Copies of this chain bind each other. A is one copy, B any other.
Amino acid sequence: MSTSINLAVIPGDGIGQEVVAQGLKVLTAVLPQDVKLETRPYDLGAQRWHRTGETLPDAELEALKHHDAILLGAIGDPSVPSGVLERGLLLKLRFAFDHFINLRPSKLFPNTATPLAGRPEIDFVVVREGTEGPYTGNGGSLRTGTPAEVATEVSVNTAYGVERVVRDAYERANARPRKKLTLVHKNNVLVYAGHLWKNTFDKVGQEYPEVTTDYLHVDAATIFFVTQPERFDVIVTDNLFGDILTDLAAAVTGGIGLAASGNINPTGAFPSMFEPVHGSAPDIAGTGKADPTATILSVALLLRHLGYEAQAVRIEDAVSADLAERDGTFRSTDAIGDALAARVAG
């Protein structure tokens, strides 16, 4: 825990600007007086791309390295071809800074809407691998645009990459009261990657005799997400399955307005990056309808990562208390930010 935080801020596109402003408001309010917070905004995203054609120039990538952490709003706009900003900016950051832990907690807070009947207890965390799998950009297209086109996508999985994320997940499971870890993959079809994941999972598990383990195919896992979400404690899975499962998890725990995430490099070699799971939602940008709670909860993850555990808990408790009192009447992005800032300061 340092006595200063040098934070990079990438508001990005759409509602990204608005929610990040609230995240910073709450961050400022929760930090002890003697911690110096410096923030530097980075103008990256759709507007920058339209203006200059750049997604993430080397100079800015280099500059970003020197921050303690990154807070990101949302990336993506319908005016930019699909993939340009995702691959050229968001995924570029995750890969360049070796964010191999993509941490996504899912909790059904009291008094929040869930599409599930019976309001099951939901409190699990997905440890999504962040630097391998089908996200590597390996692949290509041959005879593009002709009737003879062949397009491939290569999922790359290494023992090095799988072992470090699996080990991190065991650590997290071991530190939780229920001590349960579920591996999700599709090892009956993706046999090469699947065997690597399963063997690594079993091998590393020998070091954690107190952790109960479980394996589910990804298709079966989606069933349990809606019929028995209470069965999950910690889930470890690959980059693509984690992407899919965490949106579903967000949906069953009250929506992506509440889903936080951290792209973490636990070695500290590069800054970790915290962002809401939701996208840029251009349809509601500027209307004050965006819920900044997911970003504010991402700030809690950021604080925990930097060693400010008490402040992280303060934010999480504030969100819990705030949600418990929400009565369904509309509150603007700003009003939610104000309410949470007031709570954490109090």
Contact = CB atoms under 8 A, between A and B. Distances in A.
B196 A219 contact: no
A226 B248 contact: yes
A141 B83 contact: no
Contact of A134 (B141, B155, B219): B155
B192 A91 contact: no
Q: Which of A187, A219, A220, A255 has the most CB of B within 10 A?
A: A219
Contact of A243 (B155, B156, B219, B250): B219
A156 B152 contact: yes
Contact of A160 (B87, B145, B147, B156): B147
Interface residues of A, number: 69
Contacts of A225: 248
Contact of A226 (B147, B196, B226, B244): B226
Contacts of A82: 187-188, 191, 194, 198
A59 interface: no
Interface string A90-130: 01000000000000000000000011111000000000000
Complex copy number for this chain: 2
Interface string A121-151: 0000000000000110101110111111111
A195 interface: yes
Given A189-B134, A223-B250, A154 B153 contact: yes
Contacts of A240: 186, 189
Q: Which of A163, A222, A252 has the most CB of B within 10 A?
A: A222
A157 B151 contact: yes
A87 B192 CA distance: 12
Given A116-B115, A191-B83, A226 B251 contact: yes
A158 interface: yes
A332 interface: no
A190 B153 contact: yes
A218 interface: yes
A115 B193 CA distance: 32
A159 interface: yes
30 contacts: A82-B198, A83-B188, A86-B189, A87-B189, A115-B116, A115-B117, A115-B226, A115-B227, A134-B134, A139-B192, A145-B199, A146-B159, A147-B159, A149-B196, A150-B157, A150-B159, A151-B157, A151-B193, A151-B196, A153-B157, A153-B192, A186-B243, A189-B240, A219-B247, A220-B247, A223-B251, A225-B248, A226-B226, A226-B252, A244-B244
* List of 4 A-B pairs having minimum Cβ-Cβ separation, nearest first: A219-B247, A149-B159, A222-B248, A83-B191
Interface of A: 76, 82-83, 86-87, 91, 114-118, 134-135, 137, 139-141, 143-160, 163, 186-196, 198-199, 218-220, 222-223, 225-227, 240, 243-248, 250-252, 255-256
